[in-house]
Amino acid sequence: MTTAQSRPPRYRGAVGQPTLDTWQEGPHNRWAFAHLSELLPTASVTRRFPAAPAAATDHLSSLAVPCLKQRLEESYTDAFLVLHRNDVIADYYRPGFSPEDLHLVMSISKSMCGLVVGALVDSGDINTSDRVVDHVPELAGSAYDGPTVQHVLDMVIHLNYSEDYLDPASEVQTHDRSSGWRTRQDGDPEDTYAFLTTLTGEGTVGTFQYCSANTDVLAWIIERVTGLRYPDALSKYLWSKLDANRDATITVDSAGFGFANGGISCTARDLARVGRLMLDGGMGPAGRVVSEGWVRSVLAGGDPEAMAGSSFTAIHPHGSYTRQWWRTGNERGNVIGIGIHGQYLWLDPATDTVIVKMSSWPEPDSGHLHELQNQLLLDVSKSLDVPLATKEIPEKESAPESKENAA
């Protein structure tokens, strides 16, 4: 069983966890008064009013894609951005949403966690052949007692875990409740750490099973080898290297554990920077995140046979999954970070382009909308096969470089 002593403290020198009943008292208030959003729901008081334009804003004329704006609207797009090399050549923001707004990226958070693991593999702090329980002995006796870090990265572990987002009896909903994303029920584990120790399975590996719990296990390993809370490790090993315009956020549970599998929010432009570092061989503007070898492994993809018959291969017959990223297996070599409700971070190595699409589909997962969205992003990629030098790109379609203006 996991104990408070085995977790990174919420702040340096903390004894116990601040709670709703103790956060106003010393010594917890020295930390809590500056980190209230980790304990209570908060709302932004924007320095601009109105905070976002009432009408949609778009700069799409550089893309020769028929009915592009209509297709974006029909697929519930909140933000869309095309980053070719280091230039934003097209973007779109729905009414009421602005380039400075943060947007939940759901399971694209998993791909970011994979990069933090990659950084620690490169540094020698983690070996992909390590057994999970060698780092987190609290998982002994669970489905993770035996599998390796690589098995977790590639999601090839059998678990008794239903990822049915609409089923109240599913493990993913229990996972949500334990992490504070849904109202707790009697008998639910007290936090994410405790939830992960309850998972069982056949103990078999080698066949793909998409499971959000895997990413939180990776985050627990990250905490154990770095001694940092996952949000701090995410900052140290990834976000601080991006020259991002804004801080990202990540939801935390009652123990302060960051929801690694789906809790990150950021701007469209900063999410594109994550894709950019991948196409730049793992190098960010403020330093290397992962090695070129790690990036090559992601872009090469995983074992297509491991995920045969999955919903992903129904759209991408040669698709695969590795290191928390999806590979389409198409002739362009497109690699994707994907989140439910229509979040896509699409890499097009053929044109050195990153496409971000943040959406709010009415349902979590839709085969129809996935097909529409994949075709849209593929059409945008193909439109860039014509050298951009032959196109006239309006000057105003480039993103502002000033952080002061973009923050």
- How are beta strands 343-348 and 335-339 bridged, if at all? antiparallel
- Count CB neighbours of 16 within 10 A: 11
* Diameter over CA atoms, the chain: 64
Contact 245, 403 (CB under 8 A): yes
> What's the rounded Cα separation, in Å, for the pair 220 and 135?
9
DSSP string, 385-396: TS-GGGS---GG
CA distance 219 to 229: 9
Q: Angle at Cα 198 formed by Cα 197 and Cα 202, nearest 5°?
A: 105
Q: Is the alpha carbon torsion for 379, 382, 386, 389 positive or negative?
A: positive
The number of helices, as runs of H, and strands, as runs of E, in the chain is: 14, 13
Report helix, strand or coil for 13. coil
**Dist. CA 331–CA 383, nearest whole Å:** 15
Q: Quick check: 249 and 102 in contact, CB under 8 A?
A: yes
d(CA 189, CA 139) in angstroms, rounded, equals 14
- C-alpha–C-alpha distance, residues 85 and 65, integer Å: 20
Catalytic residue, from 75, 107, 142, 254: name it: 107
- Residue 235 CB partners (closer than 8 Å, separation 6+): none
Pick the closest to residue 154 from 232, 210, 226 (CA basis). Answer: 210
Is 107 among the residues known to form the active site? yes
Backbone phi and psi for residue 347, each to the nearest 5 degrees, phi listed first: -100, 130
Q: Do residues 104 and 265 make contact, with C-beta atoms less than 8 angstroms apart?
A: yes
Q: What number of CA atoms fall less than 13 Å from residue 332's CA on the CB side?
A: 23
SS3 per-residue string spanning 182-227: CCCCCCCCCCHHHHHCCCCCCCCECCCCCCCHHHHHHHHHHHHHHC
Catalytic residues: 107
